Amino acid sequence: MSSLELYFAPHTRSLAALWLLEELGVPYTMHEFLITTGRHKEPDFLARNPMGKVPVVVDEGIPVAELGAIAIYLADRHRTTPLSPALDHPDRAAFLRWCFFASAIMEPALGERFFKWNAPASAVAWGSYAQAEETLSKAVSDSPFLLGATFSAADVLVGSIARFGIQFGAMPKEGPIAAYVERLSTRPAFVRTQAIEAESLARLTPPTP
């Protein structure tokens, strides 16, 4: 067993963590389960993440939960394939901003869109769905990635959520964001990730009687 472990459930946010590991190219062990089994609510899992959510990564016995934390932690720790700017690099601030933008702005903004929340933009941290979409669209209109020509772990986080939004009709299927997601989808690591998820789902799904 590798010292790096991923707790993974197909068709969940853990796809982003799997993609990140494939981009890093580091060996890992995957503990897979269907989210419908409730494995993520069992005591040993809750000891690793009290929120009972996937993904969780365990690195040499240290559990790391929350996708943003996982991305920053792994990208900084495993630098054979650099996916984060160094602490003193000029792009470091933008990298951190986009990592937090994924969960702090994009996820609740999509929640607003999906569930038709009617919250004043001035009263909520994410502002509004329209602001979030416009901000991301501008960022990727003239650059292949969020940090310009350099792909980073921030693209894994933001790209995963944007892909989800497009798949479920909350984000535009054409335009800068759709083109950005298409660029990310052709990356070899992402292609591998999709194949791994499909294989995992096939293993875990009981055969139809």
Residue with tokens 């919250």: 119
**Residue 2 pLDDT level (bands cut at 50, 70, 90):** confident
CATH topology of domain 4-82+190-204: Glutaredoxin (3.40.30)
Residues 19-76 pLDDT 10s: 999 999 999 999 999 999 999 999 999 999 999 999 999 999 999 999 999 999 999 9
Residues 114-171 pLDDT 10s: 999 998 999 999 999 999 999 999 999 999 999 999 999 999 999 999 999 999 999 9
Q: Is 123 exposed, middle or buried (0-12, 13-18, 19+ CB in 10 A)?
A: exposed
* 6: pLDDT strictly greater than 90: yes
Whole-angstrom Cα distance, residue 5 to residue 172?
35
**Residue 206 pLDDT level (bands cut at 50, 70, 90):** confident
CB atoms inside a 10 Å sphere around CB 83: 22
pLDDT of residue 119: 87
Using left for φ > 0, alpha for ψ between -120 and 50, and beta otherwise, residue 180 falls in alpha
CATH topology of domain 92-187: Glutathione S-transferase Yfyf (Class Pi); Chain A, domain 2 (1.20.1050)
